[in-house]
Amino acid sequence: MAVHEHCSHDAPAHSRELDAKVKRRLLVSIFLTGVIFLAELLGGIYTNSLALMSDAAHVFMDVFALSLSFFAIYIAEMPPTEKRTYGLHRVEVFVSFINSFVLLLITAFIFYKSALRLLNPEPVESVGVLFVASIGLVVNLIVAAWLHKFAEKDLNVKSAFLHVVGDAAASVGVIIGAIIIYYTGWYRADPLISMLICFVIVGGAVRIVWESSHILLEGVPRDVDLKLVKEAILAPKGVVSVHSLHVWSICHNVYALSAHLDITPTERWRMGEIFAEINDALAHDYHIHYTTLQAECSGCNPNDTFGRIAHVDRGHHGHQH
């Protein structure tokens, strides 16, 4: 008879006090970035600047990224239910996918308008663009400094921090374009800057769509090397082989693993110790904190590392591994 041991290590969590500080900083950052989004959007319409409106779209990505970081902390605190045993972590991934896909459509429209403007330049109020973009740059730098301390230790906040830094760079581009227009009157600088920002947005949005799809399709986390994970599982004395190995992401920063292990009969008396050693290594080296390990599996194919999953009709009473 097979012996099963289900191990669930709680991921290292911030204290409630630290979580509260992160939430406060994220809320302030969301507010400031939201104000800049509205200012750049309205400013772009008023000054007839596509570059400013493109940067507004980029800032919208920041607002979304910051909001998602805040939302991720909130949903992580929600307990699992009988209907959703993983809780609502996947909501973060699903919303990322939808938001980025919609943003790609918006960016495509802005790029189209920029191409038309490049062929038929229109006057742009460069002083207004310079004023709004400069304020946006200052606020982005303030938000980046505000989040920097927590970004060093929290991957969730780090993602939002990188978004803000990227937008600060885009604001510099808008400022350069406004200066060129002010001194030369070359209005094509505006749609050119807009196109460059569109490329930046598309790059970020495509990456998020790709990563979100990868998670939704139960892909192995990109920073996890399965060969090294397998070596870590085989490292403890007594572990002969590992098969039916699966590693996936519950959300962007929460990894899970399940595997079947063959343990020599003489070492089975310390099975709990072996599992604890494996779990400690997986958590420390690969950020995998949720594991399900099964030992002494009868009828498994030890050569099938990943354990192929076959579709089985309801009512079929065959063995499942």
* CB of 215 closer than 8 Å to CB of 93: yes
Contact of 19 with 305, CB cutoff 8 Å? no
The overall pTM is greater than 0.85? no
Give the gyration radius of the chain's Cα atoms.
25
Let me know whether 199 and 118 are in one domain.
Answer: yes
Measured distance CA(310)–CA(317) in Å, rounded: 13
**Pair (256, 269) in one structural domain:** yes
Q: Final residue of a domain: which of 185, 216, 247?
A: 216
pLDDT at 14: 40
Residues facing residue 185 across a β-bridge? none
- 38 with 58, same domain? yes
Same domain membership, residue 227 and residue 168: no
CB atoms near residue 21 (< 10 Å) = 14
CATH of the domain at 190: 1.20.1510.10
| Domain final residue pick, 173, 198, 216 | 216
User: What pLDDT shows up at residue 12?
Assistant: 44
Q: How many CA atoms lie within 13 A of 318 on its CB side?
A: 11
Identify whether 313 is part of a domain: no
Q: Which two tokens stand for residue 145?
A: 């400094």
Report the distance separating Cα 170 and Cα 147, nearest Å: 19
- 242 and 110 inside one domain: no
Supply the DSSP symbol for 80. P
CA–CA separation, 45 vs 136, rounded Å? 16
Contacts of 203 (CB under 8 A, 6+ apart): none
Identify whether residues 283 and 148 lie together within a single domain.
no
Gap between the Cα atoms of 49 and 9, Å rounded: 52
Tell whether 233 and 211 lie within a shared domain.
no
Let me know if residue 47 belongs to a domain: yes
Residue span of the structural domain in which 289 resides: 221-295
Asked whether residue 112 is assigned to any structural domain, the reply reads yes
Same domain (yes/no): 55, 102: yes
Total Cβ atoms within 10 A of residue 221: 21
Mean pLDDT of successive 10-residue stretches along the chain, which has 321 residues: 40 52 80 90 91 87 80 75 79 79 86 89 90 90 82 66 80 91 91 89 84 88 91 91 89 86 87 92 91 73 61 55 47
The answer to whether 288 and 254 have CB atoms below 8 angstroms apart is: no
Cβ pair 122, 187 in contact under 8 A: yes
**Residues 57 and 112 placed together within one structural domain of the fold:** yes
Measure the CA–CA gap between 191 and 50, rounded to whole angstroms: 6
- Structural domain count, the chain: 2
> pLDDT value at position 303?
61
Per-residue confidence (pLDDT) for residue 45, from 0 to 100: 92
pLDDT of residue 319: 47
Q: Are residues 190 and 106 in the same domain?
A: yes
Q: Look at residue 10 and tell me if it is in a domain.
A: no
Co-location of 225 and 210 in the same domain: no
Residues 63 and 190 in one domain: yes
pLDDT given at position 313: 63
